[in-house]
Structure 1
Amino acid sequence: MFQKAIFFHLILLLWTTSVMAQDFSSLVEKSWNNNEQLKAQHFQLQQAEAALKEARSMYGPTISLGGQYTLAAGGRGIDFPVGDLLNPVYSTLNQLTSSNAFPAVENATISFLPNNFLDARLRIQQPVYYPELAINRQFQSSKIDLKALEIKAYKRLLSKEVMTAYLQWQMAQQAVVIYEKAEALLKEANRTTTSLFENGKALPSAVNRIQSEQASNKAQLIDAKNQEENAWQLLAFLLHERGISRDQVTVGLPELPDMITNNGSREELQQLDVGIEMQHLAVKKEEQFYLPRVGVQIDAGSQDFDFQWKPYALLGVNVEWNIYDFKRHTHKKDQALAAVEAQKQQKSYVQNQLELQSAVAKNNLLAAIDQANTFQPRIQSSQKTYDEVMKKYRTGVANYLELIDAQTQLTIADLSYILARYNAWIKWAELQYVTASYPIN
């Protein structure tokens, strides 16, 4: 009766989980919140947002304060005969006034290099019409969209990896349960065989064979526990939460998944759409080659020698107008147009590829569900066969080889069903990823 209790306990465990709806959101959110790669991409998104703000700020003025103080000696100069011009006049005035009120003046040499000269200014520059500023702003905005889609794509991949890791861990746990169940069955078989041997109804070889099966099952149980530990380590790594225990990681799963009918839009296709838009911006930039660029500059300050103050103001309008560049901008435009067409073809190829992946994933899920549904009758039949053989074995009607074969078939049926069940769930997670069904915020 002990093996029946284990069997019904396993059925009760599976039925209990089947009435709960699967919800991986808690595990997925943990992985999103703790993943360093995702955090790095969020910082890159902030970087792109700052670049957009920088592009917008280019429409505003820039104000700078500058100055230059100059000391000079030597260099080129010009002779100015001020003495030759004024001294005859001063001499006549001195004679008329009978005084020396007008002393003689020496000729001067004026240097081209300013000495002890200070130029201080406040400069304001304002772009008036720069077409490339609008292009740059749109380009930086597209980079934000591209980075946001990259984050969503990584989140989607991470969600699939977390689901798959959890399902593989659960599958390994169930395998441990099955081998422990087999260990209990073999223990009961060994007790029964030993009793038969002591009563002279079984040979020593029967006891040895049962004990050999126990050792073999023990080795398989050790391997199953190792696989369970490795699967748990992978899941814990993806969740990346310090101190998390197995009891804190639970997801209610129905017996088998349902077919996914709602399809979303893959981020890879959206990224290609944004890439096409960015290439169109490159085309637009070259089409604006002949448009003028206009800016205004205002200088207000002082220029004088010996640190004197002589204020001035200067207004300037800067105009730049492209006329001819030997068709360089035309060739750049052709390159951008070719890049647009290449991106469109790439998008078409990726779209067809994703549709193929979706069709294959749906077929795989349907086949996995159908395959898993075939195991329940096999498990029931194997359990019934084992119970009957065990009864006959206790009465000496069946031999130990029949008992071992029945126990082996039951263990294989249990393991095969667990593998088929979780394989169906793994195919479900793959289909969720391929069809972009899981909601990504």
Structure 2
Amino acid sequence: MNEHCLLNERHLRARKWRDRLRWKLLFVIAMISFSKPLFAQDRILDAYVSQGLKNNQGLRQQDFLLQKSLYALKEAKSYFLPEVNFNTSYLDSRGGRKISIPIGDLLNPVYTSLNQLTNSTAFPQVENVNQTFNPNNYYDAKFRTSLPLYNPEIGVSTKIRKEQINFQQADYDVYKRELVKEIKLGYYAYLQSEEAIRILESAVNLARENLRFNRVLVSNDKAIRTVVSRSENELIGLEARLEEAKYQSKSATAYFNFLLNSPLDTKIEMVETIQNEPTAGGNAFNKREELLKLESLAKINTLSGQLAKASSLPKLATFIDLGSQGDFLNFNNDTRYYFFGLTLDWRVFAGNRVQYRTKQALMDSKVTGEQISQAEQQLELQSQTASNKLNAAIRIFQASKSQTALSQQYYQDQQKLYREGQLLYIELLDAQNRLVSDQLQQSISYMIMQTRSAELERAQASNPFSN
């Protein structure tokens, strides 16, 4: 007897274990089946975001500006390198100021005495010379190589260019995050318009079925003609709303494709919407690019003050000329030359210009510091506001979903009563309008919830992407 009871107990335990395992497997299968559309929707949206980041024209413009800043940095560094220039000139003149050189008056008496002493004509007479100041048939061609030995302005300018790259990079990232948000909002707007079309098409089908049913009642003298007229008017109104929803869907499609830089009528891929609530998220947010921009601007202002001070320091440079000068087309050892030198440039007095520039840069730095403090508070407020809006949107969506379920059940009950002849058509019509309105409101509240989620993601800068 005991053995029989023990066998029965083991059998019951085994059956309970199998039942638990079966329910767990069914739960896992249901969750997988339920999550597939959601994952597919996320995958499609991520693909569109990647496409927009790759093709958007506004983002390309920002990228060009960033590349321009990189080239500006290379330009600033080039001032540390030697500079080689080629310069040439040719001069030809007639007339102008002259100088008289009495060569003949000085030498001819001496030459005459020498000829008499030597009893010869070995020393001829010479004429006086009139030499013009302007050179005639003269050229000068040279290569000048110059190199700054000490110039603090070059170093500070290079630092400013580097910081301008950080500023432009932050500006690029700001545009990038805004584009991601706009793409998501555009996609959700398109989904909402398509959901509205689906709901209104279902409502039109219901209205057509009611019209058909009412015509049957009138033909059998079970209802008056007014019921058919009311049904026809209701159908016309729903069809008009359906056309408006289709127009809104086309507009949403065009705007979304505009963000992707695609043809405006390109078909948008979508899957069946699974209306899940997103995570509300916290109030903490990552380092916003707007703050990085202001921090870079503060550094640039500080460096601008250093640049103003550097302009008052001495500048030392060296140069060497390698060239040739002489009569035109004459080039030999006598015409070739080199010329080496050092230059020192030091501004001694400029009416306190440097001090004024330094104070201007200091005021700019103070302004930027206040902007940073204000921006931190604004961004924190924006994050908290976005989180609160998302929480409110989730609650509204949950209430709307519950209301739609009640309206669906109420309409089915009212329709059953109407077909049994226990309800007026106006009451059925009221239930139908309430159902359509609640379904549209649920669709709108769901898309508002998704919009608030995208806004919170933007406010917290939580969407990771590589530069």
Query: Above 0.5 in TM-score?
Result: yes
| In structure 2, distance between residues paired with 1:260 and 1:376 | 22
How far apart are the structure 2 equivalents of 1:347 and 1:253?
41
State the SS of the aligned residue for 1:218.
helix
Q: Whole-Å Cα distance in 2 between the matches of residues 253 and 413 of structure 1?
A: 17
Between 1:206-215 and 1:245-254, the stretch displaced more is 245-254
Segments of structure 2 that go 5 or more residues without pairing to the other structure are: 1-32
Question: Which of 104, 109, 120 pairs up with 1:99?
Answer: 120
Q: What is the correspondence of 1:393-412 to structure 2 with a 5 Å cutoff?
A: 393-412=418-437
Q: Does the CA contact (< 8 Å) of 2:253 and 2:268 recur in 1? A: no
> What are the Cα deviations for residues 317-339 of structure 1, in whole angstroms up to 9, with x where unaligned?
00012223232211211111111
Match of 1:314 in 2: 339
Does 1:295 find its partner at 2:296? Answer: no
Larger RCO (CA within 8 A; separation ≥ 6) = 1
Equivalence for 1:10: none
Contact 2:411 2:428 in 1 (8 A): yes
1:176 and 1:96, CA in 2 relative to 1: closer, same or farther beyond 3 A?
Answer: same
Q: Counterpart in 1 of 2:464? A: 439
From the superposition, tell whether residues 56 and 255 of structure 1 become closer, same or farther in structure 2 (CA, over 3 Å).
same
Q: Which residue in 2 is equivalent to 1:348? A: 373
Give the distance between the partners of 2:151 and 2:99, measured in 1 at CA: 44
Residues 348-378 of structure 1, C-alpha deviation per residue, up to 9 Å, x if partnerless?
1122111111111111100000110112322
SS state of the match for residue 319, structure 1? strand
d(CA) in 1 for partners of 2:95 and 2:378?
78
Tell me which residue corresponds to 1:178.
Answer: 199
Which of 64, 69, 74 in structure 2 is aligned with 1:48? 69
**Contact 2:257 2:264 (C-alpha < 8 Å) held by counterparts:** no
Superimposed CA distance per residue, residues 93-116 of structure 1 (whole angstroms, 9 cap, x where no aligned partner): 222332222211112122222212
Matched, 1:283 2:308: no
- Aligned equivalents of 2:79 and 2:453: distance in 1? 50
Q: Show the counterpart of 1:22.
A: 42
- State the AA in 2 paired with 1:281: L
Tell me the SS of whatever aligns to 1:298. strand
Deviation at 1:426, TM superposition (A): 0.8
| Matched-pair contact (CA < 8 Å) for 1:77–1:110 | yes
**In the alignment, is residue 305 of structure 1 matched against residue 330 of structure 2?**
no
Q: Which residue of 2 aligns with 1:5?
A: none
8 Å CA contact retained: 2:72, 2:161: yes
Contact 2:253 2:265 in 1 (8 A): no
Structure 1 pair 251–302 and aligned structure 2 pair: CA distance change class (3 A): farther
Q: Kindly provide the CA deviation profile for residues 174-227 of structure 1, in whole angstroms up to 9, marking residues without a partner as x.
A: 011111111121222222222222333222222222222111111111111111
Which sections of structure 1, spanning at least 5 residues, go unmatched?
A: 1-12
Q: Which residue of structure 1 lines up, in the alignment, with residue 221 of structure 2?
A: 200
Q: Percent identity?
A: 32
Judge conservation of contact 1:21–1:254 (CA < 8 Å) in 2: no
Cα RMSD for the two superposed structures: 2.1
How far apart are residue 38 of structure 1 and its match?
Answer: 1.9
Q: Which residue of 1 aligns with 2:210?
A: 189
**Deviation at residue 307 of structure 1 after TM alignment:** 4.1
Residues 242-297 of structure 1 show CA distances to partners (whole Å, capped at 9, x for unaligned) of 38732535697652222234622222111110100000001112333442100001
* Structure 2 Cα separation of the partners of residues 96 and 113 of structure 1: 41
Report if the CA contact (8 A) 1:61-1:127 is conserved.
Answer: yes
Which runs of structure 2 are paired with 1:372-383 in the superposition (5 Å)?
372-383=397-408
Q: Distance in 1 between matches of 2:41 and 2:210?
A: 39
What's 1:210 paired with?
231
**CA deviation string 1:97-152 (max 9, x = no partner):** 32222211112122222212222222111111110001111111122222222111
Distance 1:246 1:388, change over 3 A: same
Instruction: Give the distance between the partners of 2:273 and 2:210, measured in 1 at CA.
Output: 35
- TM-score, structure 2 as length reference: 0.87
Q: Give the corresponding residue for 2:27.
A: none
Name the CA shift for 1:385/1:311 in 2 (closer, same or farther; >3 Å).
same
Sort the Cα spacing of 1:109 and 1:132 in 2 relative to 1 into closer, same or farther, 3 A: same
1:143 counterpart (140, 164, 170): 164
Given the alignment of the two structures, is residue 111 of structure 1 paired with residue 136 of structure 2, yes or no? Answer: no
Deviation, structure 1 residue 304: 2.2
State the shift of 1:37 in Å.
2.1
